[in-house]
Amino acid sequence: MLDAFDRKLLNLMQTDTRRTAHELSEAVGLSPSACLRRLNKLRETGVIEAEIAVLSPAALGHRLSMVVEVSLERERPDIMSDFKKAMRRTPEVIQCYYVTGEVDFILIVAVQSMSDYEAFTNDFLFNNKNIKRFNTLVVMDRVKVGLAVPIE
Amino acid sequence: MLDAFDRKLLNLMQTDTRRTAHELSEAVGLSPSACLRRLNKLRETGVIEAEIAVLSPAALGHRLSMVVEVSLERERPDIMSDFKKAMRRTPEVIQCYYVTGEVDFILIVAVQSMSDYEAFTNDFLFNNKNIKRFNTLVVMDRVKVGLAVPIE
DNA sequence: ACTGAAAGTCGCGGCAC
DNA sequence: GTGCCGCGACTTTCAGT
């Protein structure tokens, strides 16, 4: 399904998509056209889900991140489903994971300021009857931020 | 510093970098050349930190994600600094946040299998004398995964 | 079936306005 | 800031392995 060439290409692409086919070809040991053909296949088959720009939070004005642990009142399927939809709709929620353990969801939230975060908690957490409890951890340092997974 | 055109461009770019200058130009109401000049400036000035591919974990073989809460033994600067460096070096650690609250760090970890995760905890958590305690939350659903922050 | 090379097409990047 | 033009990069085709 995925051979060593594909994995090399994916490893390069998940750190930088701006390399030319020629640069890729030298790195993986394949001709430029073969590299591009493989890349397009990886896009079509959904192995590459998206190609996106990573922005500097500092450059966008001082910006706060929070990790929020959320416990729902009851784990009813319809409540869960509604909550997930709401998280996907809400731009402040950068990431949302449904997890096992003492809490149900972990959110990564990005806001411009503390008052924005207060507004967010009011709108989405306090006013949500399905939420039993939530706990905010303020991010002091984004030590490592990315989406790159280890391949092989 | 950043005007409305820049913000529109950034919003488009943080969801998809494959649009052509012509497509961008229609979306933001500027000529294609103006869009490209602005984009290159945003790259040079570091507003755009990187352009990367997002891969499908499913397509890379069944893959597990964990959220790990870590508390250090003592918050000594040198210990903290060493821990941060180790997290940045470790490919399984997708993200690492230094946070306030009951725990010191939140990690997002990606592994191929439970036994890989066991190996990871042994290498980086159990064998680290500076770590007081850690708690693993297994991710059952990656409800929302991304890096896109709300702009405006 | 997939690679590699060449021809064809498209999009980027500099220059004039 | 916009529009044009040359060049570089991607796409497609085709032959070879």
Beta carbons of B14 and A98 less than 8 Å apart: no
Position B75 confidence tier, pLDDT thresholds 50, 70, 90: confident
Burial tier of B59 (Cβ tally within 10 Å: 0-12, 13-18, 19+): middle
Is any atom of strand C within 7 angstroms of residue B22's beta carbon?
A: yes
- Per CB-CB distance under 8 Å, the chain A contacts of B57 are 149
Query: Does some domain include residue B13?
Result: yes
- Position A62 scores a pLDDT of 86
CATH number at residue A36: 1.10.10.10
B40: Cβ under 7 Å from strand C?
yes
Nucleotide nearest to A33 (CA to C1'): C4
Whether residue B101 contacts residue A138, with contact meaning beta carbons closer than 8 Å, is answered with yes
So what's the pLDDT on residue A64?
A: 97
Average pLDDT of span B2-30: 98
Contacts of A44 (CB under 8 A, 6+ apart): none
Give yes or no: residues A74 and A120 share one domain. Answer: yes
The identity of residue A133, as a single letter, is R
Three-state secondary structure call for residue B93: strand
Confirm whether A96 is domain-assigned. yes
Question: For residue A34, what pLDDT is reported?
Answer: 98
Closest CA to B130 of B82, B92, B88, B93: B82
Report residue B129's pLDDT band, with 50, 70 and 90 as the boundaries: very high
A144: confidence class by pLDDT, cuts 50, 70, 90: very high
Residue B143, in any domain of the structure:
no
**Which ranges of A4-135 does DSSP label H, i.e. alpha helix?**
4-13, 21-28, 32-44, 77-89, 114-120
Stretch A127-140: mean pLDDT, rounded? 96
Structure confidence at residue A90 (pLDDT): 97
pLDDT, tens digit (0-9, with 9 covering 90-100), for B27-56: 999 999 999 999 999 999 999 999 999 999
CA A83 – CA A94 distance, rounded (Å): 15
Residues B71 and B117 in one domain: yes
* Selection from A143, A90, A99, A142 nearest residue A117 by Cα: A90
B91 and B116 in one domain? yes
One domain, residues A66 and A132: yes
pLDDT tens string B106-126 = 999 999 999 999 999 999 999
pTM of model > 0.85 = yes
In whole angstroms, what is the distance from residue A91 CA to residue A76 CA?
25
Residue B1 CA, distance from chain mean position: 25
| Rounded distance between C-alpha atoms, residue A88 and residue B135, angstroms | 26
Query: Could you tell me if A143 lies within 8 Å of chain B, comparing CB atoms?
Result: yes
Regarding beta strands A48-55 and A64-72, do their DSSP bridges make them parallel or antiparallel, or are they unpaired?
unpaired
- Given a contact cutoff of 8 angstroms between Cβ atoms, the answer to whether B8 and B27 are in contact is yes
- Residue that has been written with the tokens 């002091």 in this structure: A140
Q: Considering the domain boundaries, does residue A129 fall inside one?
A: yes
Q: Is the pLDDT of residue B89 over 90?
A: yes
Does the pLDDT value for residue B152 go beyond 90?
A: no
Domain that holds residue B11: 4-44
Hey, which residues does B138 pair with through a beta bridge? Answer: B66
A62 and A31 fall within a common domain: no
Residue A30 CB in 7 A reach of strand C: yes
In a domain, A152, yes or no: no
For residue B19, give both structure tokens.
């649009």
Reported confidence tier of residue A152, pLDDT bands at 50, 70, 90: confident
Nucleotide lying nearest to A36, CA to C1' measure: D10
